[in-house]
Structure 1
Amino acid sequence: MKLLTAFNYKKSHLLILLLFSLLLFHKQALIAQDQVQIIPQPSSISYGNGSYELGDKVNIQASEDLENEVQFLSALLEKGFTKTPKLSKKKKGIVLTLDKALKNELGEEGYTLSVKKKGIFITASTATGVFYGLQSFRQLLPVDFEFHKQEKAIEIPFVEITDKPRFPWRAFMLDVSRHFQGKEVVKNILDQMAMLKMNTFHWHLTDDQGWRIEIKKYPRLTEIGSKRKDTQLSRKSEERVGKPHEGFYTQSEIKEILAYAESKHITVVPEIEMPGHATAAIAAYSWLSSMGLPQEVSVTFGKLDDSFNIADPEVVSFLTDVLDEVINLFPGQVIHIGGDEVNFKPWEDSKIAQNFMQKKGLETPIDLQVYFTNQISNYIDSRGKRMMGWNEIMGTDIHEDNGETKAEAKQKLANSAIVHFWKGDLKLINEAVAEGYDVVNSNHWDTYLDYTYERTPLSKSYAFNPIPEGLNEEYHSKILGTGAQMWSEWIPTVASMQQQVFPRLAAYAEVGWTALENKDFQRFEETMQLIKQRWEFMGIRFYNGN
């Protein structure tokens, strides 16, 4: 009887220990889950029992061809530990590995991140994937790591992350034409994009209110076109700011920014507007005008009257000359030509344009635009690049009331063009992909950052799905992704720009990266509190409402 009692006691004791261990394990797992908060949300996260102690004596071991990533990691660790980590040949500490076999599973941007007893291991098929793994690792560190010296080692929970993006095109557009922003502002934006795994910087460089890129063959574009006398104070207002506005990037500065973007694995897509939004260029060279009138760089915003006289071969040659310098500067594969909001009346009133249209068998001004756009597309193709433009380039007038159109082009857009959807009935996306075009979906109601938070709250930004509801699954791969657009007509300062961009940029980052089944707005909002703390340390102004 005593033996039985003792046995029962031991059994009960073991059961209690087992339950305690399970509770401890569960508690540690929950702690780990609380600590692993990453935006954009990774594809999968599993949690271990325990943590890795990261201290100032940690070593880095890396595959060849990862010098850029090693430099980024070293600089990151030095900020917190005030000590440069050593490089080691031993596979312990923080290990960065290239494994081409992962490409089939994770593509060129995916990665695995493993934190375990022997160290932190980031593996990918390319340097880009390793870089994104480092961005996730960065968010595992305390939010003040990069801004205050760490007095003790950091506990990073054991975790296994496997991750890859939903879309290959995850873009942010900055309009520097309406209000010029210097190169340091652009670099800061690139920093934030990199942290959020956004890979495309769409740079809106020319418009009616300013030409911001140096073109050496045509110096008056910046001598005259980069300066305006004043600025409209508010929409449809006769009031003016009362002072001139100017600025442009030299080609040397652009090369510096491009090198910086490359180090962040960000491709820069320049936008050179044509055939509309041309007033600043016409102010510099009046012979470019469709109206045949001299112009000044516009001090007002909106859809203006004049455009390039694309019926004149010399004007087309001017534009290809400009594109030559742009193509020689920008290493990316895509050149954006805008193509939106063209006022057709000057072409309707121009004998030159009408004679040209009759000679070419072009029935409407929309046909003339598509004809010209194809000329430019073919030229860009011949230079080994690819043309992109807002969805007017397909030949549909999207500016009539209720989305109805008064005319459709009979000319067909070049097959290689990328259609950047921003306005009109969503059926236009269906038509574009069915005709074989690649599409970037930037529907303005969902992605325009100049819109107020009342019109486009954070929840709406987060809920945006670049693949329209009902689109046949066979065409899903034709949706390359999305872009968030920061138009700057009414956003004159860096502070006002930042407040419009942040925190919505993080929502668009997750739209572009995270699989639908992994999206959760409540979880996103909770993790955003950490990102906002980082932004506070960085001195970034952000909107803190709903």
Structure 2
Amino acid sequence: MKRFFQYQLTLLFLLFGLSLSAQETALNLMPVPEQIETGEGQFVITKRFSISLTGDYHERLAHEATRFLRRLDQKTALFFDQHKVSGERTNASLTITVERPGEIRLHEEESYQLRVGTESIEISAQTDIGAIRGLETLLQLTGATNGQSTFPVLTINDSPRFHWRGLMLDVARHFMPMDVLYRNLDAMAAVKLNVLHLHLVDDQGFRFPTKAFPELLELSSDGQYYTREDLDDIIAYAHQRGIRVIPEIDVPGHATAILVAFPELGSKDTTYTLERYSGIFDPTLDPTNDAVYDFLDQLFAEVAEVFPDPYFHIGGDENLGRHWNENKDIQAFMKANNLATNHDLQTYFNIRVQKILNKYGKHTMGWDEIMTPEMPKSAIIHSWRGNWEGLVAKQTLYDAARAGYETVLSNGYYLDLMMPASQHYLVDPAPADMDLTPAERSRILGGEMCMWSELVVPETIDSRLWPRAAAVAERLWSPEEVQDVQDMYRRLAIISLQLEQLGLKHISSRNVILRKLAKSKDIEPLKVLVEVVEPMKGYTRNTNGTLYTTFSPFMLWADAATADATVARVFNEDVERYLSGSLEANQLRTQLDLWSKNHKKVLPIINRSPALLEIESLSENFSRLAVIGLEAIGLIESGGKPSSGWVTQCQQVLEEARESGGRTELQVISGIAMLVDELKGL
């Protein structure tokens, strides 16, 4: 893969006295392209803007060019003369030239060149998929100059760093309707993601429309599953945008939904019931039962028929083997076949499953538990386990690459953990300083974000994914050197608004939830508070999976909060600037004064809404923190010395404010603590 970025852009920026961040600031692109060369002037967009297609391309390009035209018309409100793009056109504003039709497959060419002049624009690419990526970049470049809609004059040469840039949606624990999938595919295409991984089966539900086993839909779906027409439409919609779709049928563990309908396939003679809680459960397929493989053969034949992608995810994770341990026949089978551990037995199972998939022309993919010395190297290892801060996070990724497997990273990209975008953004699947040979490095295909849906429903999934998913998309597309977190956040705010225009509800859902909770349109005090809190991190909001069930309410206070409390982050940064002398005190005072009075405004709303009682102490602590901030700034500005009692009282309030409220946590504590610390030594 070409690597122009490090050398040519660094030289260009040095010559013109620019930095990488300055270039990003000027263009607001996400992901940042591989190579950018800016010019002078603008291309002015008028109502005569038109598009011409040339070369050998798939019909999807005409569809996507038309969609681009309509989206651009919505942004500029110019009422374009051209309404549909169908082929070559004389004197077109934008000419797209493609060498060959693209294929929806791994390793397909996605590079493109975009040239914007003052009079014309050109996109050239080997495949129409590359041209579609270029159209998304051009749309992000839309701006305004002197009251006119414009594109800046520039040349971009761009190609992705990784070929696998995915998003896993868990549609088993909470079913996601078609409109959710459609709008998220649009968002994926906007930031150049190219794999949608559908987790279709788990302990809480079976969502695949099997004809061979209707009992699964009757007993294990709660009536919520996709029809074959639904899946055909989703796959076609994704392919139109250059996105692959791969299925996951999780076996042999996470098998409750299967065993509810077919208990005879289980490892324990018991009655199985569909799981309503979250966690790791014992129901497991019996690897010693040939009927299990007959069942999977028929089921996988159906799945393979619906999903054309050659990769098929078998899960394979979190099988503790307790039911295997309790089954005397299984233990005897293990002894007779020299299978010393449950992991050995699962490897036996995986190899038999892989042979079934091979029969249908499918490559096996599974979570990293499937990696054993006996597993054929044709399998893709999906790395997910470990503490994702440090090398151990990616150990299975590197072990797989060194052992000869192609591999994909998800550890560090679990968006359901509700970590801020900055933490995901800096997780790199294959940094340059990692000790890997070129061959080993080439086996790291890329990464895949995971959105497990234990705590996510259709009304909130967008706000749990976006805009953070765009930051990970940049990590997987852009050069490794693009790592400016501050500029990422600045551009992310802009991209977030652009994503909303695609129909995402990641912004609007907050107010919907707050109005429901407040039982009123008067939600401004709640907005002030929710903008400085984040949901409890990791799985602490639902410790051990025992608080929430499948049908618990998921439109509560914590569901209105997002993983990145932008107002709080900016406040903490402003405190640092103030203490360093680069920010006036009045800017902090104005915000702190608003916050100090907010609890009195929140109380009447709480009094009419019992669902908000859980945030009363949170709201009170927030206003108490603001009062401390105002007092601290007053002392700093006047040169006064605080009493020892004041410092002690402040520390007590800070400690009390660290307690969660409404399953959320205040994020302004560090900023207030810095102000107090500034006065401690006086």
TM-score (norm 1): 0.81
Matched, 1:459 2:451: no
User: Structure 1, residues 266-297: CA drift from partner, whole Å, max 9, x if none?
Assistant: 10111101000000110011111111212011
Q: Residue 444 of structure 2 aligns with which residue? A: 479
1:388 Cα deviation (Å)?
A: 0.5
1:159 Cα deviation (Å)?
A: 0.8
Q: Contact 1:35/1:157 (CA < 8 Å) preserved in 2?
A: no
Cα distance in 2 for residues equivalent to 1:129 and 1:196: 13
Q: Residue 463 of structure 2 aligns with which residue? A: 499
1:246-395 pair list within 5 angstroms: 246-395=223-372
1:224 Cα deviation (Å)?
A: 0.7
1:44 Cα deviation (Å)?
A: 1.0
1:216 Cα deviation (Å)?
A: 0.5
User: Structure 1, residues 337-384: CA drift from partner, whole Å, max 9, x if none?
Assistant: 100011212112213322332333222211110011011122222322
Cα distance in 2 for residues equivalent to 1:381 and 1:92: 48
Cα distance in 2 for residues equivalent to 1:107 and 1:51: 33
SS at match of 2:68: helix
Cα distance in 1 for residues equivalent to 2:454 and 2:494: 31
Cα distance in 2 for residues equivalent to 1:102 and 1:326: 24
Q: Residue 170 of structure 1 aligns with which residue? A: 165
Q: Residue 547 of structure 2 aligns with which residue? A: none
Q: Residue 421 of structure 1 aligns with which residue? A: 383
Cα distance in 1 for residues equivalent to 2:271 and 2:216: 14
Cα distance in 1 for residues equivalent to 2:345 and 2:208: 27
User: Structure 1, residues 423-453: CA drift from partner, whole Å, max 9, x if none?
Assistant: 034433332222101111111xx2111112x
Matched, 1:490 2:452: no
Q: Residue 70 of structure 1 aligns with which residue? A: 62
Cα distance change on mapping 1:257 and 1:33 into 2, 3 Å? closer
1:185 Cα deviation (Å)?
A: 0.4
Cα distance in 1 for residues equivalent to 2:504 and 2:188: 16
Q: Contact 1:62/1:70 (CA < 8 Å) preserved in 2?
A: yes
Q: Residue 99 of structure 1 aligns with which residue? A: 99
Q: Contact 2:50/2:93 (CA < 8 Å) preserved in 1?
A: yes
Q: Residue 435 of structure 1 aligns with which residue? A: 403
Q: Contact 2:24/2:487 (CA < 8 Å) preserved in 1?
A: no
Identify which of 522, 531, 536 aligns with 2:495.
531
Q: Residue 210 of structure 1 aligns with which residue? A: 205
Cα distance in 2 for residues equivalent to 1:533 and 1:522: 18
The percentage of counterpart residues that share the same residue type is 33
1:107 Cα deviation (Å)?
A: 7.0
Identify which of 434, 445, 450 aligns with 2:416.
450
1:203-242 pair list within 5 angstroms: 203-227=198-222
Cα distance in 1 for residues equivalent to 2:565 and 2:288: 50
SS at match of 2:455: coil
Letter in 1 for 2:467: P
Q: Residue 565 of structure 2 aligns with which residue? A: 545
SS at match of 1:372: helix
Letter in 2 for 1:268: V
1:308 Cα deviation (Å)?
A: 0.6
Letter in 2 for 1:109: E
Cα distance change on mapping 1:101 and 1:274 into 2, 3 Å? closer
SS at match of 1:125: strand
Letter in 2 for 1:48: G
Q: Contact 1:113/1:160 (CA < 8 Å) preserved in 2?
A: yes
Q: Residue 636 of structure 2 aligns with which residue? A: none
Structure number with the bigger relative contact order (C-alpha 8 A, sep ≥ 6) is 1
SS at match of 2:375: coil
Cα distance in 2 for residues equivalent to 1:56 and 1:320: 57
SS at match of 1:213: coil
SS at match of 1:510: helix
Q: Contact 2:102/2:129 (CA < 8 Å) preserved in 1?
A: no
1:58 Cα deviation (Å)?
A: 2.1
Cα distance in 2 for residues equivalent to 1:324 and 1:100: 32
- Matched residues, number: 473
Bigger drift between 207-216 and 467-476 goes to: 467-476
Letter in 2 for 1:130: A
Bigger drift between 115-124 and 84-93 goes to: 84-93
Cα distance in 1 for residues equivalent to 2:203 and 2:102: 47
Cα distance in 2 for residues equivalent to 1:509 and 1:122: 22
Cα distance in 2 for residues equivalent to 1:101 and 1:50: 34
SS at match of 2:220: coil
Cα distance change on mapping 1:65 and 1:429 into 2, 3 Å? closer
Q: Residue 46 of structure 1 aligns with which residue? A: 37
User: Structure 1, residues 470-514: CA drift from partner, whole Å, max 9, x if none?
Assistant: 3313311111111110001122x2332222211210111011101
Cα distance change on mapping 1:33 and 1:170 into 2, 3 Å? closer
Q: Contact 2:317/2:369 (CA < 8 Å) preserved in 1?
A: yes
1:170 Cα deviation (Å)?
A: 0.4
Bigger drift between 117-126 and 216-225 goes to: 117-126
1:217 Cα deviation (Å)?
A: 0.2
Cα distance change on mapping 1:26 and 1:373 into 2, 3 Å? closer
Cα distance in 2 for residues equivalent to 1:490 and 1:354: 37
Q: Contact 1:113/1:122 (CA < 8 Å) preserved in 2?
A: yes
Matched, 1:36 2:27: yes
Q: Residue 122 of structure 2 aligns with which residue? A: 121
SS at match of 2:90: coil
Stretches of structure 2 that go unaligned for 5 or more consecutive residues are 1-15, 387-391, 508-561, 567-682
Cα distance change on mapping 1:184 and 1:107 into 2, 3 Å? closer
Cα distance change on mapping 1:219 and 1:109 into 2, 3 Å? same
Cα distance in 2 for residues equivalent to 1:44 and 1:107: 20
1:536 Cα deviation (Å)?
A: 4.0
Q: Contact 1:290/1:308 (CA < 8 Å) preserved in 2?
A: yes
Cα distance change on mapping 1:392 and 1:372 into 2, 3 Å? same
Cα distance in 2 for residues equivalent to 1:381 and 1:217: 20
Cα distance in 2 for residues equivalent to 1:220 and 1:206: 14
Q: Residue 434 of structure 2 aligns with which residue? A: 470
1:59 Cα deviation (Å)?
A: 2.4
Cα distance in 2 for residues equivalent to 1:142 and 1:71: 24
Letter in 2 for 1:71: H
Cα RMSD, aligned residues only: 2.7
Cα distance change on mapping 1:535 and 1:100 into 2, 3 Å? closer
Q: Residue 522 of structure 1 aligns with which residue? A: 486
Cα distance in 2 for residues equivalent to 1:300 and 1:286: 20
SS at match of 1:450: helix
SS at match of 2:345: helix
